[in-house]
Amino acid sequence: MTTSKSALNPRQRESALAKLATEKFDVLVIGGGVTGSGIALDAASRGLRVALVESQDLASGTSSRSSKLIHGGLRYLEQYDFKLVREALQERELMVTTQAPHLVKPVAFLYPLHEKVKERTYVGAGLALYDALRGFQRALPNHKHLSQKGIHDIAPSLRLDIVNGGIQYFDAQVDDARHTMMIARTAALYGATILTRVSCESLIRKGKKIVGATVKDSTTGESIDVSASVTIMAGGVWSDLLHEKFGITPGYQVRMSKGSHILVPKSAINSSSGIILKTAVSVLFIIPWADKWIVGTTDTDFTGDRNEPLATYEDVEYILAQANKVLTPKLKHSDVLGVYAGLRPLVSKTSVTSTTKLSREHVVDHPEPGFVSVAGGKYTTYRVMAEDAVDHAAPDLRKIVKESGTKELPILGAEGYSALVNNAEYLAEDMGISKDQVIRLLDRYGSEIFTLLDLISEEPNLASLLSPELPYLKVEISYAASHEGAMSVEDVIMRRTRIAIETVDHGLSVATDIAKIIGPILGWSPGARKKSVAAYEKQVERERESIAQVLQNDRVSATAN
């Protein structure tokens, strides 16, 4: 099976649109987040004919705005949600070892202790249970206790006047948007038809059964009737709106919980490990991210615009206040390089439950023949959610459906990853770049690095850096449009790379250069290039509102003092 089948680009899109109009699908998936992409992969790998439509870009919602962690949810132990923790930990082990070792990496965390005996016993017992719940396959080390000196050696920024020691444990982290996109491409590799910028307008009914949907291509305005034996909706925080639009009464409601994060420079916190802090309502993570730290998250009810869940000044104040309880020197508003927020789709049966108390377990609903929806859950458990959704949809297919095989199925780029890392020096010679760059590329593309090598062979200039200030090569930008389904400057800067949160100017300085690289692949005119750049500039202007408010408040405080 050639990986060219996984390529998402203008030619593939044209072919996919034709398939929507002419073919009969077993499964139509609505939603291109991690769960929808996982459903497409699960169904396609069972031999089913699958189509996926996403109204925006892959991972454009919650699946690109998480804490970038693959974890069991340590705090859910206190809620006695052992099933969820065990499930998530076992999925984490699979991702690190089999499914996506090129994308999902172990990361160490310190849990600072403030009391010498009672707290250490309590937290230690919880982490021992956390280790035990993952089962027999253990790719990550067990937790270990540290003295005050031990924790200071690892994280000098922790205040010794209140931190008496700590415990180190391991979870994993991921570039969520990249991981989601690779799942969708793996689904395409196994035959799924993947389309972005295509929204579901209505469902098609034949008697009491739903037999497909009418979808609309936002790039042309064309409407297409798609025939499918079953439609599975993974709408995330848009679920309630879509249910209402489709005239379906679901067995659940989705509540939105906003999780905000800030980014600060690596120099702001002196630590060689991530840090987790227990707060009055949740936990706070200090997470290493390249040459920066991601600090978050909040957990608050949200009722605003689902398309733009901006972090507020109050969110940033909360994050800084919680982090500064244990850090020295304290983080300042001026340390904040960027902010972002995402929405968690929490399943709710009442309107009074605090979002911090709601379970992250998922629900699969089958309210009408031919229609299934799935909601809730955690990013880490996307594969289990996908498997459950397809299992519930199977009876509507009226044929034998094989069991899911995604548990041991590597996603695109995973096969041969370890061997390629061992041969990084030779790859560097072939590509004409440094070994460090090769390792970085392998950790983003895995075995797909050979496709990048082919592109460089055709156009050697693509081996150069996009910008001296950024690690990305021009070939990565080209590949985003030729293989990864990027259709705009925003897609490249915000999701195919993470330039939007990795640079102070959110990538504005390279937006025009990116448009020039992807323009020929996407068939853009000079006017279309300028339009895409302008659209991204407007997006940044809106996203900057939060950080501007933070900096303004900081200036006001400084003036007052």
Among 73, 75, 26, which Cα is nearest to 51's? 26
pTM equals 0.94
Say how many C-beta atoms besides its own lie within 10 A of residue 468's C-beta: 5
Q: What's the CA gap between 101 and 420, in Å, rounded?
A: 12
| Token pair for 47 | 């031999």
DSSP code at position 99: I
Among 33, 437, 466, 468, which Cα is nearest to 233's? 33
| Domains of the chain by start residue, with CATH | 3-62+177-252+357-408 (3.50.50.60), 93-172+255-348 (3.30.9.10), 417-546 (1.10.8)
Asked if 32 contacts 58 with a C-beta cutoff of 8 angstroms, the reply is yes
pLDDT score of 353: 53
pLDDT score of 555: 43
Residue 313 CB-density burial (10 A; 0-12 exposed, 13-18 middle, 19+ buried) = middle
**3-state class (DSSP) for residue 33:** coil
pLDDT of the chain, 561 residues: tens digit per residue? 456 899 999 999 999 999 999 999 999 999 999 999 999 999 999 999 999 999 999 999 999 999 999 998 877 777 767 888 888 899 999 999 999 999 999 999 999 999 888 888 888 888 888 888 876 667 888 999 999 999 999 999 999 999 999 999 999 999 999 999 999 999 999 999 999 999 999 999 999 999 999 999 999 999 999 999 999 999 999 999 999 999 999 999 999 999 999 999 999 999 999 999 998 888 999 999 989 999 999 999 998 889 888 888 889 999 999 999 999 999 999 999 888 899 999 988 655 455 555 556 899 999 999 999 999 989 999 999 999 999 999 999 999 999 999 999 999 999 999 999 999 999 998 888 899 999 999 999 999 999 999 999 999 999 999 999 999 999 999 999 999 999 999 999 999 999 998 888 999 999 999 999 999 999 999 999 999 999 999 988 877 765 665 556 544 443 333
Q: What's the CA gap between 296 and 369, in Å, rounded?
A: 41
